[in-house]
Structure formats: C-alpha cells, structure tokens
Copies of this chain bind each other. A is one copy, B any other.
Amino acid sequence: MSDGASDKTSLTFSSKVRLPRLSVDQYVQGVRENNRTILAQAITLVESNSPFHMEMAQEVIKKLLAHTGNAIRIGITGVPGVGKSTFIEAFGTMLCEKGHRVAVLAVDPSSTVTRGSILGDKTRMELLSRNPHAFIRPSATGGTLGGVNRKTRETMLICEAAGYDVILIETVGVGQSETTVRSMVDFFLLLMLTGAGDELQGIKKGVIEIADALLINKADGENRTRALIAKGEYNRALHYLQPATVGWETKAYMCSALTGEGIEEIWNVVNVFREKTTQTGGFEARRSAQSLDWMYSMANDYLRTMFFSHPQIALLLPQMEGAVTSGQLSPTSAVQQLVTIFESAISKKE
C-alpha cells in the first residue's frame, strides 16, 4: 500500500477505526509470527466496514490463505446461564496445558444493538485470557449477522495463519446465530443443563439437530445424579433424530467445569470425530461445502441488498407487502411488478 493510500485512510476513517499504517506484508508477517499486537490489528482490519480497509483485509487474507485450515474448528452454544464461559475457560486451559494454541471467538448479533453479553469475554475468562497460548477476541460488532458472519470467518482464518490449532467459536444463540456458527465449524457442541424436558424450552427448534454432541454442564454435587438421568433421556431422544454429521452418532455427555470431570473426555470425543470424518472424507467435504455455501450466501446478500435497497423498490415495498398479506394482490403479481420496476431502473442507469 502506498503512503498516499494510507493517508486517505487516516483522513477518512481514523475517527472510526484506528489502525497503524502497516503494509499488507507487515500484517502478513506479523500474523505469521503470532505478534499478538499485529494479530489484533489484522482482526480489526477485517472487522472494519470501510471499503479501503476491506480491500486491504482481502489482500492480507489472500496471502495468508495457504497457512489456514489446519485447526479444528469447534462451535459452542447453549442458553444463557448454561455456563459457556466457565466451560470454555476450563476446556481452553486444559488444551493449552496439552500444548495446543487456542483462539476463542464469538458470534453475538445482539451485541450490535445492546453492546451485548460476549463483549466482556476477557473478564469472563480471566485465567484463559492470561494464558500465553490462548487468544480471546470479543465478538465483532456492527452490521448485520451477514457482516458478523464474514468477520468471524475471516478472523478464524487469521488466527489459523497465526498458528492457533483449536478455534472455539461461541454464540449466545440470538437469531440465526447457531446456524451461522454451525456453517463455519467442523464440530458443533451444545451445552445443556439437567432436567431435560424443561430446559429444552429455552433451546431453539432445530439446534439439537445440528449438534455433534450434547454436553450436560454443571454435573457436580447433588446435580450429578440428575445429570446422569438427563444424559440417558437425551440419548433416547437423539435416537429419533438423524445425526448432524453423516457417519457420526450425536450423543449426550456430561461435565463439570468445577470438578473438571468430562472436560478431557469431550476433547477425546472431538478427536475421534475428526479421525472418523477424515477417514470417510466427510471432514474435507464439509469444509469445501461450507466455503461454497458462504460464497453463495454472500452473493445472495449482495443481490438482496441491491434489489430491496433500490429507492424505487424500497418505496413501493410496504404497500406491496400490505396488499399481499391482505389478499388483494397475489405474490406472483407483486414480484412481477417489482421486477418490472427494477429492470427498467437499472437499464436507465447509464
């Protein structure tokens, strides 16, 4: 990047995202050396919504791509109060002790609006955040879930290029965030509490079906017996569902971040999963499919924005919606009218 380009940045965007004037190669080198300051700045670059930063971020990612993909990507979800932070703290610390390097990311669409619950990651995971082998990044904010989706995926790639070999992506489960996280990870873990029937009320439809393991947390003290019963109940229920991953049986496990029970076991489960699906080719097939799906999903986002943000469409849409829901207009006619307007508008553009 030329100085001129950097000047442009500092003039136009410095008030929004503060970044040093590093070149693409400086970012790439810093990330590859796991320079934590530059790593954090590279992620800030990826998270920036400025067109200049976005373009530079793509240059950086392009050069890092060859060094990505070597981590195991694990998604973690569960209702608030299930103990995600304490689990990740215990799980991540155990992994660091085993010699792994662990990056913790978060997908939290709520944080855009509420400055939400995962923003304070570093204080929630005090022990892990001080561990030199762990890297915790609060969730990206700003924009739609689509934007958060892109930022998290690219942050994951950057962490992989920096040598982190276990990526944990946490979500609070707002909106479509579980599906979003599932679409970017190899293994999806659903944390649960005891008392199957009731607790399930808080778990959204379809979330159990996309999980590779159910993990009953807080299985300690008096709760342990109840956790055992819940585990059996969940396993019976899982018998009726098709597994999230072909060739893998989703089962229920239990753990306690307090006593440490089950923390290593779930890591073993992840490893067996990785081995099995690597042998069948399912592991790589899923990743290829995820990349393609993501490409198509971004293209569709672009198309929808182009169409529905078009001034003439945006102006007409509310009354079209009204006419369709009240049964005065067939959806087919509505779309025909919108398309006619759109096509005449873009053909007049030049």
Interface residues of A, Cβ cutoff 8 Å to B? 58, 61-62, 65-66, 68-69, 150, 153-154, 157, 196-197, 200, 204-206, 208-209, 236-237, 239-242, 288, 291-292, 294-295, 298-300, 302-304, 306-308, 320-321, 324-325, 327-336, 338-339, 346-350
Rank and list the top 7 A-B pairs by shortest CB-CB distance, nearest first: A295-B331, A237-B240, A288-B325, A303-B303, A205-B242, A298-B335, A294-B331
A58 touches B333 (CB 8 A): yes
Residues of B within 8 A of A327 (CB): 65-66, 68-69, 291
Give the complex CA separation of A209 and B347 in angstroms: 45
Q: How far is the CB of A72 from chain B (nearest CB, A)?
A: 16
Q: How far is the CB of A310 from chain B (nearest CB, A)?
A: 11
B339 touches A302 (CB 8 A): yes
Residues of B within 8 A of A204 (CB): 242
A298 touches B331 (CB 8 A): yes
A61 touches B332 (CB 8 A): yes
Closest to A240 in B: B237
A302 touches B335 (CB 8 A): yes
Give the complex CA separation of A208 and B242 in angstroms: 11
A-B contacts, 29 of them at CB < 8 A, read: A58-B332, A61-B330, A61-B332, A65-B327, A65-B329, A65-B330, A68-B327, A197-B239, A200-B242, A205-B241, A205-B242, A206-B209, A237-B237, A240-B240, A291-B331, A292-B321, A292-B324, A292-B331, A294-B331, A295-B324, A298-B331, A299-B308, A299-B338, A302-B335, A303-B303, A303-B306, A303-B307, A347-B350, A349-B350
Contact partner of A332 among B66, B298, B331, B332, CB < 8 A? B298
